Amino acid sequence: PTQFTLEDLQGEVFQFPTNCSNCSSPCKTNMKVTNIPHFKEVVIMATTCDACGVRTNEVKSGGGIEPLGQRFVVKVNGKDEFSRDVLKSETCSLEIPELELEVGPGALGGRFTTVEGLIDAMRQQLAERGTMFSDAAEETAQQSLQQFLTDMDQILSGERPVTVVLDDPAGNSYVQSLTYPDPDPNLQVERYERTFEQNDILGLNDMKTEGYETAS
């Protein structure tokens, strides 16, 4: 799966010291601003820890919260769809309706990857949960999880068509159209008005209240 690493960030890169999220050892993070075609500028940050070898990458939108939320519905009918670029912001949730699988916005963080990379990341997260099951009382949950992993493997091998839904109330996610500028039959993009609850999570209600208080 394609993801940005330190090697991809050669060129005009800003580097700053930080600590490894895994072992807390001192390391350096490379940061670069890049432009995604037909979208906007994003900030890509990549860190490699020399002490424990952990590599992380994070993507943040270069702009603020958009006026409208955005929902992407991607039909993944086989490996032809795997190379489609995806920018998942830190406020974007994921769903595969066919598996009744939902992943919250904080689970995978912000990342610039592909459809294949996104599905693989979801599978890895499910696999990590499997290590938490230990006693017989959780055997049913373990079996259900194993079925999820088998289903995900079938998707990644291109055997099983599915739908991947990305919902970003902040409007800072992006899914590449493979037929741009013509309509993409396997990509549906919807812009929507956020609910009060979504605005509250994004901190926008507080901002509005502060504005009213200042005005008065």
> What is the CATH T-level fold of the domain 1-63, as seen in this structure?
N-terminal domain of TfIIb (2.20.25)
pTM: 0.73
> What is the predicted pLDDT for the residue at 216?
40
How would you class 73 by CB atoms within 10 Å of its CB: exposed for 0-12, middle for 13-18, buried for 19 or more?
Answer: middle
CA 33, 35, 36, 41 torsion-angle sign: positive
Q: What is the pLDDT along the chain (216 residues), one digit of tens a residue?
A: 445 544 454 447 788 899 988 899 999 888 877 776 656 777 778 888 899 988 777 777 666 788 899 999 999 998 888 989 898 988 999 999 998 889 888 888 888 889 999 999 999 888 877 655 555 557 777 788 888 899 999 999 999 999 999 999 999 898 989 888 899 999 999 999 999 998 898 888 876 544 444 444
- 66-204 homologous superfamily: ZPR1, A/B domain (2.60.120.1040)
- Residue 191 pairs in a beta bridge with 70
**CATH topology of 1-63 equal to that of 66-204?**
no
Whole-number pLDDT of residue 30: 85
* Domain extents in the chain: 1-63, 66-204
Please choose, from the candidates 84, 118, 113, 83, the residue with its C-alpha nearest in 3D space to the C-alpha of residue 103: 118
Are 153 and 59 in contact by the 8 Å Cβ rule? The answer is no
